[in-house]
């Protein structure tokens, strides 16, 4: 299919950026979103320099009125929407549930669940116009491992999976599939610069040794990359994946 339009939320960096690059490489016009305009414009330039088409829209998903304005802008400026990748997500508060303020649960849910709920409500009619659509939500294996001290995140990803599977049943007849990808640990800049050093310090080992430990915990002895996630998004958004819907697909090197 030609001239397809794809939205990738949180594509200024990390997994979202890899998804944006891959979808653009495959001929889709990509709408890059995030809060950092400088980084967003860099992603757009990179795509255009390689002969692709992209546009940046600044939107803070923690502010639901901004999500609504973004959707209105899309409805006004584009006459089709083929792919919606709800990738942006935050880890939020780290700590035991017993001492987590309720406000922290709300802020994680606002970005990881409510903004996606709203985005789907507002943009599905545009997909419906074309009798075709692919919605891909980026979840996490946290929904099934439920690690301690990230309760708000774990809960938000479980809710996102429920949204995915319910929506799949409701809008399947419109020609729209809805799936979620649940990644394991992915070596993004954020994980490399923030998470690994923290884990290494806690375990009293070097960052390299920490990475080795995490690798040993996988079945493949390899950590998953942002490009692995982008490849699955490409497949799920293809015509060949038309009968795959309501699935939560783990991409975690066997973790």
Ligand X SMILES: NC(=O)c1ccc[n+]([C@@H]2O[C@H](COP(=O)([O-])OP(=O)(O)OC[C@H]3O[C@@H](n4cnc5c(N)ncnc54)[C@H](OP(=O)(O)O)[C@@H]3O)[C@@H](O)[C@H]2O)c1
Q: Does 14 bind ligand X (CB under 6 A)?
A: yes
Question: What is the Cα–Cα distance from 59 to 70, expressed in whole angstroms?
Answer: 7
Give the residue with the Cβ less far from ligand X, 171 or 196.
196
Applying CB under 6 A, among 36, 79, 170, 209 the residue interacting with ligand X is 36
Give the residue with the Cβ less far from ligand X, 30 or 132.
30
Q: Does 188 bind ligand X (CB under 6 A)?
A: yes
Q: Does 12 bind ligand X (CB under 6 A)?
A: yes
> Is 153 an annotated catalytic residue?
yes
Segment interacting with ligand X (CB under 6 A) among 29-37, 69-77, 162-170, 171-179:
29-37
Give the residue with the Cβ less far from ligand X, 34 or 133.
34
Applying CB under 6 A, among 22, 23, 31, 89 the residue interacting with ligand X is 89
Q: Does 152 bind ligand X (CB under 6 A)?
A: no
Q: Does 4 bind ligand X (CB under 6 A)?
A: no
Q: Does 71 bind ligand X (CB under 6 A)?
A: no
Of the candidates 13, 50, 10, the one whose C-alpha atom is nearest the C-alpha of residue 31 is: 10
Applying CB under 6 A, among 26, 46, 57, 62 the residue interacting with ligand X is 62
Applying CB under 6 A, among 46, 53, 60, 128 the residue interacting with ligand X is 60
Q: Does 35 bind ligand X (CB under 6 A)?
A: yes
Pattern 95-134, ligand X, x by CB under 6 A? ----------------x-----------------------
Active-site annotation holder among 134, 153, 156, 233: 153
Question: What is the Cα–Cα distance from 87 to 243, expressed in whole angstroms?
Answer: 22
Contacts of ligand X in 231-250 (CB under 6 A): none
Could you tell me whether strands 133-138 and 176-183 are parallel, antiparallel, or unpaired per DSSP bridges?
parallel
The 3-state secondary structure of the chain, one letter per residue: CCCCEEEECCCCCHHHHHHHHHHHHCCCEEEEEECCHHHHHHHHHHHHHCCCEEEEEECCCCCHHHHHHHHHHHHHHCCCCCEEEECCCCCCCCECHHHCCHHHHHHHHHHHHHHHHHHHHHHHHHHHHCCCEEEEEECCCHHHHCCCCEHHHHHHHHHHHHHHHHHHHHHHHHCEEEEEEEECCECCHHHHHHHHHHHHHHHCCCHHHHHHHHHHCCCCCCCECHHHHHHHHHHHCCHHHCCCCCCEEEECCCC
**Residues acting as catalytic residues:** 153
Q: Where on the chain is the footprint of ligand X (CB under 6 A)?
A: 10-16, 34-36, 39, 59-62, 87-90, 111, 138, 140, 183, 185-186, 188, 190-191
């Amino acid at each position: 299919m030609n001239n397809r339009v794809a939205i990738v939320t949180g594509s200024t960096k990390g997994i979202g950026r890899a998804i944006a690059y891959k979808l653009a490489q495959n001929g889709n016009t990509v709408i890059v979103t995030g809060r950092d305009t400088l980084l967003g414009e860099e992603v757009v330039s990179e795509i255009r320099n390689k002969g692709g088409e992209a546009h940046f829209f600044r939107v803070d998903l923690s502010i639901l009125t901004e999500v609504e304005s973004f959707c209105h802008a899309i409805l006004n400026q584009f006459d089709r929407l083929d792919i919606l990748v709800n990738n942006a997500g935050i880890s939020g508060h780290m700590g035991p549930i017993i001492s987590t303020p309720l406000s922290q649960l709300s802020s994680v849910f606002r970005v990881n669940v409510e903004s996606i709920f709203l985005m789907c409500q507002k943009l599905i009619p545009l997909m419906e116009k074309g009798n075709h659509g692919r919605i891909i939500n980026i979840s996490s294996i946290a929904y099934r491992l439920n690690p301690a001290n990230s309760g708000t995140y774990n809960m938000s990803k479980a809710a996102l999976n429920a949204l995915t599977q319910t929506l799949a049943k409701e809008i399947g007849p419109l020609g729209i599939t809805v799936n979620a990808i649940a990644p394991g640990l992915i070596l993004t800049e954020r994980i490399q610069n923030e998470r690994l050093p923290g884990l290494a310090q806690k375990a009293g080992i070097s960052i390299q040794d920490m990475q080795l430990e995490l690798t040993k915990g996988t079945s493949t002895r390899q950590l998953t990359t942002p490009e692995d996630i982008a490849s699955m998004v490409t497949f799920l958004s293809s015509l060949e994946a038309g009968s795959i819907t309501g699935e939560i697909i783990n991409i975690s090197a066997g973790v």
